[in-house]
Structure 1
Amino acid sequence: MSVRDATPADAAACRDVYAPYVTGTAVSFETDPPTAEEMARRIAAAQERHAWLVLDDGDLGGGVRGYAYGGPFMARDAYRFACTVSVYLEPGRRRTGAGRALYTALLDRLAGRGYRRVLAGVTLPNEASLGLHRALGFTDAGTYRRVGWKDGAWHDVAWLQRDLGPGAADAPPSDPPSAEPS
């Protein structure tokens, strides 16, 4: 398995990894899986200022088995040093180290681009996702109660956050995040 930058050619595979989360769970609040074209657009948008990485077992003939990406946290300029992150894996890849590998590479990439804080939203209940985030140093930031309606029920979303890099919590940023790692 290797972690690499996603390309538009990975869009259909990423769509296939993601679709079961949309149609069979409340993990994603989307109600219809995106098309491959929409997924390609999302990959391109993430690559502009953040990152989109895939877990690839290409040598084994299977291709993309998961992905992780970063995106904007909020639109206001003062939030420019914070971003959101997400990770999705094929169901059989959970608790194999795949999520950790993707997130480790993603967090390094985002830190290299000048981001200082990452946030992740987790639909509850989801002990596996909470466990992964906490194992990677994320701490609880709060819970939005009954904010998503899906599959005939209200769902809570826990938010977790993590600082990127030493001194990230206190030091003022020197430059805005860039499209290229520093």
Structure 2
Amino acid sequence: MPQELEEVQVRPGTEADLAALTNLYNHYVRETAVTFDTAEFTAEQRRPWLHSHPEDGPHRLLVACTGEGIAGYTTSGPFRQKSAYATSVEASVYLAPHAVGRGIGTLLYEALFAELAEERVHRVFAGIALPNEASVRLHERFGFRRVGEFTEAGWKFDRYWDVRWYEKRLDHHPSE
């Protein structure tokens, strides 16, 4: 029987989470085309990534914790580096294998979008390597709409992978 969602705590990621977050991400590097990274990371290599997500501002890192430890995380980060993109972010969710299908991705995105509603964010983008029906359903449930597809965009596991892009409009305008 799945663990009840009331037992899930969503909070900002901290330095103490770095090893667990790195291990979780490395699972996706090794086993899936969800990320196009092809080499695993050490915790020290991931430290700059962790610190690029402060507790305030549009670039967030939230973790979901259960009695089993870190069940997943969500991030919002820069969409592109040029200054005109400052009100746009790219979002992602990664779940531990034991946490898939338990509603934790939904909890993480609910928390992330609640925080982003208080920030100067106008658009949230997400790229999904295909096939990934669970991620497509999650993003569509949160109001993302499909805006395009890059065919054969990444080479991993001896084949090409397509990436479908989604966007979600937030109502913030930069002059507010």
By the TM > 0.5 criterion, same fold? yes
How many angstroms apart in 2 are the aligned matches of 1:22 and 1:112?
Answer: 32
Tell me if 1:162 matches 2:160. no
- 2:61 corresponds, among 46, 52, 57, to 52
Question: What is the CA-CA distance between 1:108 and the residue it aligns to?
Answer: 1.6
- 5+ long unaligned stretches in structure 1: 176-182
- 1:71-102: CA deviation from partner (whole Å, max 9, x where unpaired): 00011222111000010001121221100101
With normalisation by structure 2, the TM-score equals 0.90
- 1:23 corresponds, among 30, 41, 47, to 30
How high is the sequence identity, in percent, across the aligned residues? 40
**Runs of 4+ off more than 2 Å:** none
- Report if the CA contact (8 A) 2:60-2:76 is conserved: yes
Say which SS state the counterpart of residue 18 (structure 2) adopts: helix
How many angstroms apart in 2 are the aligned matches of 1:7 and 1:64?
Answer: 12
Which one-letter code corresponds to 2:52 in the other structure? A
Which one-letter code corresponds to 1:53 in the other structure? L
How many angstroms apart in 2 are the aligned matches of 1:111 and 1:77?
Answer: 20
- The Cα RMSD (Å) is 1.4
Question: What is the CA-CA distance between 1:111 and the residue it aligns to?
Answer: 2.2
What number of residue pairs does the alignment pair up? 167
- Report if the CA contact (8 A) 2:71-2:95 is conserved: yes
- 5+ long unaligned stretches in structure 2: 1-7
Which one-letter code corresponds to 1:6 in the other structure? G
Which one-letter code corresponds to 1:56 in the other structure? C
With normalisation by structure 1, the TM-score equals 0.87
How many angstroms apart in 1 are the aligned matches of 2:51 and 2:118?
Answer: 19
How many angstroms apart in 1 are the aligned matches of 2:69 and 2:167?
Answer: 30
- 1:3-29: CA deviation from partner (whole Å, max 9, x where unpaired): 000001101111121111100111110
Give the equivalent residue in structure 1 for 2:50: 43
Say which SS state the counterpart of residue 52 (structure 2) adopts: helix
- 1:109 corresponds, among 108, 115, 122, to 115
Give the equivalent residue in structure 1 for 2:82: 76
Say which SS state the counterpart of residue 43 (structure 1) adopts: helix
Give the equivalent residue in structure 2 for 1:141: 147
How many angstroms apart in 1 are the aligned matches of 2:113 and 2:19?
Answer: 24
Which one-letter code corresponds to 2:110 in the other structure? T
Give the equivalent residue in structure 2 for 1:180: none
Question: What is the CA-CA distance between 1:63 and the residue it aligns to?
Answer: 2.0
Which one-letter code corresponds to 1:84 in the other structure? E
How many angstroms apart in 2 are the aligned matches of 1:39 and 1:108?
Answer: 26
Question: What is the CA-CA distance between 1:39 and the residue it aligns to?
Answer: 2.3
Tell me if 1:65 matches 2:71. yes
Which one-letter code corresponds to 2:10 in the other structure? V
Give the equivalent residue in structure 2 for 1:12: 19
